[in-house]
Structure 1
């Protein structure tokens, strides 16, 4: 199974980008690895709860008011029975309230001291908890920092890729026979466009790039010709790079379009052998070959954690996305001579540069 991935090292694919060039197809296991996060210890401590006691006051005014109201109510009831008893109750009640208020005032300093000690203990425990929580958060921040995440995910991806023997699929002992189109599945990209991209690939990636590579995959009856292969033995990272075209120039036959059966077949075969597939539209390569190189660099930086590879592309713009063709759209393009127009422009440009 294949899943489509925007070649940005940060953003996930969006519906708008999933059906547009450039398209990077990665095995699902690699995509999962590139979304994994390192495990960090859980911090399951509960924050200490503050004391429920309120700060003491010299006199508890609220309780005093309640006692006074209770005394008044008692006197009102008692006066109906005996005025003498009501008077005695009043005197005793006032004495009791006065003594209680006095005792509260005398004990205020002790109560305040106990309260302060309780709060000091609480804040000491809270500070210790906050320190442990802060240490844990720092650990999480370090573990999930962009650099550490990239290294962690690249290591996972490399571990998965090393389960395959992608290099074994490169057929070094087979020759490309352009006369027998049944012998090889492959790109129909115009040679001048492929040559243009080859120049820039050589400039930026050197020996890591091979052009016109035949792949022998068990799932395919015949060898599969790809325009380029990017190879990184250290990470066992192999990227098949294909330049898609909408139709054949001679026969006008539709070639690369959404859900084309041959594209699905070759993509699945590459996937099952641990290959990553990067696809450009021919027009993109013709117009912005440097930006195409930038897309490859972004993909390599993502999978193998080589951010330094992007240094050479700081002044190179993003490659504008181009919607993938439907079969109906391909037929319209063939009728309008879509490829012929820009290939003719390339020929004129080349002839003017080489009179």
Structure 2
């Protein structure tokens, strides 16, 4: 199966924490509804015209049957329309006052709602401020990473010696030297410490796992394993590494794997990829800006 480097393995709980935010304040107030009726008028002219037209049509039809009945209907209808118009005129002040009271009540409710919404937005902005979110996530990270531990023989990269020494290096020493220089370069940018010589026993496969480098943030107890993948057709070794990595991720480790040629040819770009990981998971957002002028790492497929 073809793989694409770099490979990053992150525990699901870490991914959840990286997206989490402090609980937002509740806001259960519904926006007031606008009064449905229109502003009253002394006389509803359109209504009066409509009633008059309707009366004329009905009277015309009835007159065809009985002129007397049509005349009576005309008189009665006219009186009803006049009374209706008079009623509207007499009740105008009362209707207008009721409308104004309803409108004032709506405006008062809307103003109260606006004040509550502004207060809510202010509280939400405080609760979800970048520093608050970072503190919230870091507290969860400290609780989660508390279970992660390493062996005591780990050596800080800044305290180790160049494996090249003064002698002509062997192929194995050459790889160690590349890892050493990569670690020295990366250590200049990060606040945590890079270690070599970390060993962890994987009981499920009876194997001592030892990555190229391990980054440890003492504040969060964050452990990130940096592995260098060399081309291999040995299925047993590939399966062993996969099982070891699965065990480590389940134990709270984060793993980033670079192809050997990426470390050899693009070590600074690999450092930027590591910085992007710290930034994406909200571990440290001060590292990535240091690589503003560094291009992104090219993907390697193998």
Same fold per superposition (TM over 0.5)? yes
CA distance in structure 2 between the partners assigned to 1:172 and 1:288 by the alignment: 26
Q: Deviations over 1:19-40 (max 9, x none)?
A: 5222221222222222333322
Tell me which of 275, 291, 298 is aligned to 1:313. 291
- What TM-score do you get using the length of structure 2 for normalisation? 0.78
Tell me which of 274, 277, 281 is aligned to 1:299. 277
- What TM-score do you get using the length of structure 1 for normalisation? 0.68
How far did residue 172 of structure 1 move?
5.1
Deviates more, 1:108-117 or 1:188-197: 188-197
Q: Deviations over 1:176-228 (max 9, x none)?
A: xxxxxxxxxxx998234223313312433477011243333444524222211
How far did residue 145 of structure 1 move?
4.6
Given that 1:220 and 1:269 are in contact with CA atoms closer than 8 Å, whether structure 2 keeps it comes out as no
Q: Deviations over 1:294-331 (max 9, x none)?
A: 222332344463212334323323222222x2xxxxxx
CA distance in structure 2 between the partners assigned to 1:222 and 1:189 by the alignment: 25
CA distance in structure 2 between the partners assigned to 1:189 and 1:220 by the alignment: 29
How far did residue 270 of structure 1 move?
1.8
Partner of 1:121: 105
Partner of 2:194: 209
Partner of 2:159: none
Partner of 2:261: 283
CA distance in structure 2 between the partners assigned to 1:277 and 1:144 by the alignment: 29
How far did residue 246 of structure 1 move?
0.8
CA distance in structure 2 between the partners assigned to 1:150 and 1:207 by the alignment: 17
1:189/1:94 Cα in 2 relative to 1: closer, same or farther (>3 Å)? farther
CA distance in structure 2 between the partners assigned to 1:236 and 1:46 by the alignment: 45
Give the 3-state SS of the residue equivalent to 2:32 in structure 1: coil
Partner of 1:112: 96
CA distance in structure 1 between the partners assigned to 2:63 and 2:238 by the alignment: 102
Matches within 5 A, 1:241-256: 241-247=226-232, 254=233
Partner of 2:211: 226
Given that 1:55 and 1:112 are in contact with CA atoms closer than 8 Å, whether structure 2 keeps it comes out as yes
CA distance in structure 2 between the partners assigned to 1:92 and 1:281 by the alignment: 99
CA distance in structure 1 between the partners assigned to 2:219 and 2:235 by the alignment: 33
1:70/1:316 Cα in 2 relative to 1: closer, same or farther (>3 Å)? closer
CA distance in structure 2 between the partners assigned to 1:222 and 1:43 by the alignment: 54
CA distance in structure 1 between the partners assigned to 2:129 and 2:140 by the alignment: 16
Tell me which of 157, 160, 166 is aligned to 2:149. 166
Given that 1:166 and 1:273 are in contact with CA atoms closer than 8 Å, whether structure 2 keeps it comes out as no
Given that 2:182 and 2:263 are in contact with CA atoms closer than 8 Å, whether structure 1 keeps it comes out as yes
Q: 1:31 aligned to 2:15?
A: yes
Deviates more, 1:125-134 or 1:202-211: 202-211
Q: 1:268 aligned to 2:220?
A: no
Deviates more, 1:283-292 or 1:71-80: 71-80
- Report the aligned-residue RMSD: 3.3
Partner of 1:235: 220
Q: 1:135 aligned to 2:119?
A: yes
Partner of 2:166: none
Q: Deviations over 1:29-81 (max 9, x none)?
A: 22222233332244333322222322212212243234324543247526744
Query: Unaligned stretches of 5+ in structure 2?
Result: 156-171
Query: Unaligned stretches of 5+ in structure 1?
Result: 1-17, 174-186, 248-253, 326-355
